[in-house]
């Protein structure tokens, strides 16, 4: 699926801005920004914690000359179920809150007149959407009749609404629907293998370098571009070429351009190789989360975040726990930050060994169908980004359950079929001996919270427990390991010596001890700290206005440990033979 981009043959009308908005039971509309989560925009607690359907509405105009074109309406993401109406006609529906969807609306619009778009968004979580949840009616003497709660088992606030831009774009009648590139290296040249999806037949494909010089050209619907002495894309040194695709048909002349990178990724033995060099992941699990905006796209925050990643010496992050916006991936391509891209499969765990998750009525065949569909949509959206170097199919699922094995075998197999070029991982928090799934993946990602959730407050256990644990993983699977989460809540401004939990000293000391172990283990190929910044969660007795494991505050200011990491990561190269 192509990102909507302007060219000589395509126009894009961005409907971002102020929309009208109401909840299902409310007749009156209020003003609401798009993109943004609706939760933190007003002073109304009922809207902040609202569960159910909301309606967004806006008017727009379509010029008469667009009659000669195809007109598409595209929603970048809306959480979690959506229906889109144009002038009262249902034009598309979508399930899942973190991927785009679109519809051709040419036959529903009034040319040269006003049009109305309405988007219904429902944020109720069920067991057949990812991430899952369930609306429970509580029937006991402590609660009034009909009292409901939305239960979900993931640790971030269920921000809702239209989170990414809504755009209208045009194409010629016959047009470039999609394309994919795969890059390979041999000696001093690179092969850029491309294939185009279109009803047209005559194409010209041109690859240009940064100075706009043509470096390769071809004419087929699929083919190979050979680049002599290629400049490679890699973390820290992200060279981008521009790929221009032209559909050369008289009435359907179409042009689409995208910056692409030439690079290879593969796993061998203990190593994660980018361009055949052993890469070491330094970075974070992140969130799309910021004050007031919630999960709404904001390029101010996004560019600040990339500047902070560069400042601290990080070279990668994981899109924990869902696919991030396309805008973020374009920035990752440009800044040279490697991305582990994760499916929104989080909360597939009830944290109670007596309650099965992979069972009929919870994570079952319907969930699997949706998960497979999400992998298809995700790979279709992001296959051409050089920054995306691995897929993560889930975070902390109950992979010790019998039902998890067949479920994830299917998800991983489908992911590999769709994209044989990128390694696959699943992020685990089980014991090495208990998971039934890690044998199917290429890289082991493990989350660990020694001295935090277990032996709380006792930093002295870390070295012993972590080393034993990671060695066991390696012994059993012989695959490279990334410590994909570790960290402690630290409330900015809380200090104590000796270090006590929730202080900046404790967070720093914990992280220091963890990375000390990683340095001794040659099969560990990366360290991702949980989390880049403080973020909002649902309210609970273990969360102090959200999760405070950020190395930066929610307002993107450094805590003490940020300076330690900056120092450490500036000395640790991106590529090294451990």
The catalytic site residues sit at 396, 485
CB of 297 within 8 A of CB of 165? yes
Nearest residue to ligand BDP, using CB? 155
Residue of 128, 396, 527, 534 interacting with ligand BDP (CB under 6 A):
396
Which of 155, 289, 534, 574 contacts ligand BDP by CB under 6 A?
A: 155
The least CB distance from residue 514 to ligand BDP, in Å, is 14
Interface map 111-150 toward ligand BDP (x if CB under 6 A): ----------------------------------------
Q: How far apart are CA 245 and CA 267, in angstroms?
A: 32
Among 16, 387, 547, 553, binds ligand BDP (CB under 6 A): 547
Q: Concatenated DSSP letters for 446-497?
A: EE--BTTTBSTT-GGGHHHHHHHHHHHHHHHH-S-EEEEE----B-TT---S
Ramachandran angles phi, psi of 371, nearest 5°: -60, -45
State the SS3 of 310-367.
Answer: HHHCCCEEECCCCCCCHHHHHHHHHHCCEEEEECCCECCCCCCCCCCCCCCCCCCHHH
- Strands 176-186, 166-171: pairing is unpaired
Between CA 516 and CA 572 the distance in angstroms is 13
Site string for ligand BDP, 494-513 (x = CB under 6 A): --------------------
DSSP 421: T
Contact assessment for residue 362 and residue 397, using Cβ atoms and an 8 Å cutoff: no
| CB-CB contact of 12 with 4 (8 Å) | yes
Q: List the structure tokens of 224.
A: 């190979």
For ligand BDP, the closer of residues 58 and 321 by Cβ is: 321
Beta strand 233-234 pairing with 237-238: antiparallel
Closer to ligand BDP by CB, 85 or 502: give it: 502
Q: What is the closest distance, in whole angstroms, from the C-beta atom of residue 404 to ligand BDP in the complex?
A: 16
Between residues 155 and 419, which has the closer beta carbon with respect to ligand BDP?
155
User: Among residues 279 and 530, whose Cβ is nearest to ligand BDP?
Assistant: 530
Decide: is 395 part of the binding site for ligand BDP (CB under 6 A).
yes
Report the SS3 class of residue 576.
Answer: coil
Nearer to ligand BDP, 86 or 562 (CB): 562
DSSP string, 15-27: --EEEEEEETT--
Q: How far is the CB of 421 from ligand BDP (least distance, A)?
A: 27
Tokens matching residue 274: 């980018």
399 binds ligand BDP (CB under 6 A): no
Q: Which 3-state string (H, E, C) describes 370-408?
A: HHHHHHHHHHHHHCCCCCEEEEEEEECCCCCCHHHHHHH
> Residue 559 interacts with ligand BDP (CB under 6 A)?
no
Minimum distance from residue 398 beta carbon to ligand BDP (Å): 12
Q: Are 188 and 229 in contact (CB under 8 A)?
A: yes
β-bridge mates for residue 118, sequence order: 57, 85
Q: Are 185 and 230 in contact (CB under 8 A)?
A: yes
Binding-site size, ligand BDP (CB under 6 A): 10
Six token digits for residue 22? 């109401």
Question: Which residue among 102, 259, 419, 485 contacts ligand BDP (CB under 6 A)?
Answer: 485
Find the binder of ligand BDP among 528, 549, 559, 568 (CB under 6 A).
549
* Contact set for ligand BDP, span 319-378 (CB under 6 A): 321
Q: Which secondary-structure segment (H or E) carries 109?
A: none
Tell me if 392 contacts ligand BDP by CB under 6 A: no
* Window 414 to 443, contacts with ligand BDP (CB under 6 A): 429
Give the residue with the Cβ less far from ligand BDP, 72 or 154.
Answer: 154
Q: Shortest Cβ distance from residue 133 to ligand BDP (Å)?
A: 14
Cβ proximity to ligand BDP, 171 vs 395, nearer residue = 395
How many of the other CB atoms lie within 10 Å of CB of 362? 18
Per CB under 6 A, contacts with ligand BDP among 163-222 are: none
DSSP letter, residue 142: T
Whether residue 441 contacts residue 481, with contact meaning beta carbons closer than 8 Å, is answered with: no
Is 447 one of the binding residues for ligand BDP (CB under 6 A)?
Answer: yes
The residue from 3, 358, 440, 530 that contacts ligand BDP (CB under 6 A) is 530
SS3 416: helix
Task: Give whichever of 194 and 535 is closer to ligand BDP, judged by the CB atom.
Answer: 535
Nearer to ligand BDP, 157 or 194 (CB): 157
- Residue with token string 């685990």: 428
Contact set with ligand BDP (CB under 6 A): 155, 321, 395-396, 429, 447, 485, 530, 547, 549
């Amino acid at each position: 699926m192509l990102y909507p981009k302007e060219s000589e043959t395509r126009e894009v009308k961005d409907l971002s801005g102020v929309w009208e908005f109401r909840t299902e039971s409310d007749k009156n509309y209020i003003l609401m920004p798009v993109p943004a989560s609706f939760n933190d925009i007003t002073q109304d607690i009922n809207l902040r914690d609202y569960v159910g359907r909301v309606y967004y509405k806006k008017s727009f105009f379509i010029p008469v000359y667009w009659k000669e074109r195809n007109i598409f309406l595209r929603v970048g993401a809306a959480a979690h179920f959506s229906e889109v109406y144009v002038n009262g006609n249902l034009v598309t529906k979508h399930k899942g809150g973190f991927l785009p969807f679109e519809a051709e609306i040419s036959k529903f619009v009034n040319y040269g007149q006003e049009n109305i778009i309405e988007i219904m968004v429902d944020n109720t979580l069920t067991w057949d959407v990812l991430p899952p949840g369930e609306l429970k009616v509580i029937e006991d003497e402590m609660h009034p009749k009909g009292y409901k709660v939305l239960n979900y088992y993931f640790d971030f606030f269920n921000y809702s609404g239209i989170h990414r831009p809504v755009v209208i774009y045009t194409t010629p009648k016959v047009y470039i629907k999609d394309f994919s590139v795969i890059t390979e290296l041999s000696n001093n040249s690179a092969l850029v293998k491309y294939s185009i999806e279109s009803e047209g037949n005559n194409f010209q494909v041109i690859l240009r370098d940064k100075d706009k010089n043509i470096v390769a050209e071809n004419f087929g619907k699929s083919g190979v571009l050979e680049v002599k002495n290629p400049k490679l894309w890699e973390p820290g040194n992200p060279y981008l070429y521009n790929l221009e695709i032209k559909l050369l048909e008289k009435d359907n002349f179409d042009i689409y351009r995208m910056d692409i990178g030439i690079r290879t990724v593969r796993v061998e033995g203990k190593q994660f190789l980018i361009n055949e060099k052993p890469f070491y992941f330094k970075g974070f699990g992140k969130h799309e989360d910021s004050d007031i905006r919630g999960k709404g796209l904001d390029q101010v925050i996004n560019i600040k975040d990339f500047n902070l990643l560069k400042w601290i010496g990080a070279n990668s992050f994981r899109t924990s726990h869902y696919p991030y916006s396309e805008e973020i991936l374009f920035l990752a391509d440009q800044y040279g930050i490697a991305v582990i891209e994760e499916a929104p499969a989080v909360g597939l765990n009830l944290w109670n060994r007596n309650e099965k998750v992979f069972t009929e009525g919870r994570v079952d065949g319907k969930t699997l169908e949706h998960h497979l569909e999400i992998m298809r949509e995700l790979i279709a959206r992001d296959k051409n980004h050089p920054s995306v170097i691995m897929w993560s199919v889930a975070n902390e699922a109950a992979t010790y359950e019998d039902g998890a094995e067949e479920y994830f075998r299917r998800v991983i197999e489908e992911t590999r079929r769709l994209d044989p070029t990128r390694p696959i991982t699943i992020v685990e928090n089980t014991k090495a001996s208990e998971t039934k799934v890690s044998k199917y993946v290429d890289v082991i990602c493990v989350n660990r919270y020694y001295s935090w959730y277990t032996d709380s407050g006792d930093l002295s256990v870390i070295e012993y427990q972590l080393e034993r644990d990671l060695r066991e993983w390696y012994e059993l699977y012989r695959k490279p390991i990334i410590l994909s989460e570790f960290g402690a809540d630290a409330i900015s401004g809380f200090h104590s010596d000796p270090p006590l939990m929730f202080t900046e000293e404790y967070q720093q000391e914990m992280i220091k001890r963890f990375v000390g172990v990683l340095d001794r283990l040659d099969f560990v190929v990366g360290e991702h700290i949980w989390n880049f910044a403080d973020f909002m969660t649902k309210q609970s007795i273990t969360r102090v206005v959200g999760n405070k494991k950020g190395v930066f505050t929610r307002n993107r200011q450094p805590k003490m440990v940020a300076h330690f990491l900056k120092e450490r990561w500036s000395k640790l190269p991106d590529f090294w033979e451990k």
